[in-house]
Amino acid sequence: MAKVNPGAFIRQVRQEASKVTWPTRKETVVTTGMVFVMVFLASMFFFVVDLGIQTVVKQILSLGS
């Protein structure tokens, strides 16, 4: 790997940073909203799966008593 002097490094960083496109406020709000919706849906899914597994395990353990 070639060594780059600090001045060239800073120029390269600025050049790369100028290529970055930041999302608009609307895009950020919509994306954040979608993340919250997906987290809620995933948590509901795992809650229901957990209840199902809990019921099955209780049924299996009740057979032994």
Q: Look at residue 1 and tell me whether its pLDDT is greater than 70.
A: no
For the chain, what is the domain count?
Answer: 1
**Structure-model confidence comparison of residues 28 and 4, the more confident one:** 28
Q: In which domain, by residue range, is 43 found?
A: 23-65
pLDDT of residue 40: 98
Quick check: 64 pLDDT over 70?
Answer: yes
CA dist 47 and 49 (Å) reads: 6
Q: Is residue 63 part of a domain?
A: yes
Please provide the size of the chain in residues. Answer: 65
- Residue 27 to residues 30, 34, 37, 51, 60, Cα–Cα distance (Å): 5, 11, 15, 36, 49
- Does any domain span residue 38? yes
pLDDT tens, residue by residue, 2-22? 787 899 999 999 999 999 999
* Structure confidence at residue 30 (pLDDT): 98
Domain presence at residue 45: yes
**Average pLDDT over the chain, rounded to whole?**
93
